[in-house]
Amino acid sequence: MEKSKTESKVYTTKTRLAERAKKKTDLALKRLIFKLKKSDSPFWLEVARLLARPKRKAVCINIKKINKIAEDNDTILVPGKVLGEGILEKQITLACYKISNNARQLLNKSKLISIEELYEKNKSGEGIKLIK
């Protein structure tokens, strides 16, 4: 069986992830990282690792990059903030930690959900595109 990209990139142990999460001041983010850390799925461990990174290395993605990568009816996860530069022409389900007001207005036909909701729906992480 071939390893996916997320399986090979999980370098951080669960203990190290917990140490990083304890340093976070945002309680909602801290709670989300601990919830994802309990998962056995390599996909959700990678998402927890990306969320636990220092603020200077946080993920910020523009709508135009999402539009370039996504196909219609895809589920896209951004473990960080979505910014409003560009146009989204596809109908997708977008899960992100934060979103700017401009980006929220550009999500015409698309559905916006939280990372926690997506985790509850899909605990294995299959069929989700991770953009970082």
Domain ranges of the chain: 5-56, 59-130
Q: pTM for the whole thing? A: 0.84
**Ordered DSSP codes for 107-121:** -SS-EEE-HHHHHHH
pLDDT at 1 over 60: no
How much of the chain, in percent, has pLDDT values that exceed 90?
70
The correct answer on CATH 3.100.10.10 for the domain covering 59-130 is yes
Neighbouring C-beta atoms of residue 55, cutoff 10 Å:
8
Which helix (DSSP H) or strand (DSSP E) does residue 130 occupy? strand 128-130
Task: Give the model's pLDDT for residue 109.
Answer: 84
Give dist(CA 49, CA 30) in Å, integer.
12
Q: What is the DSSP letter of 23?
A: T
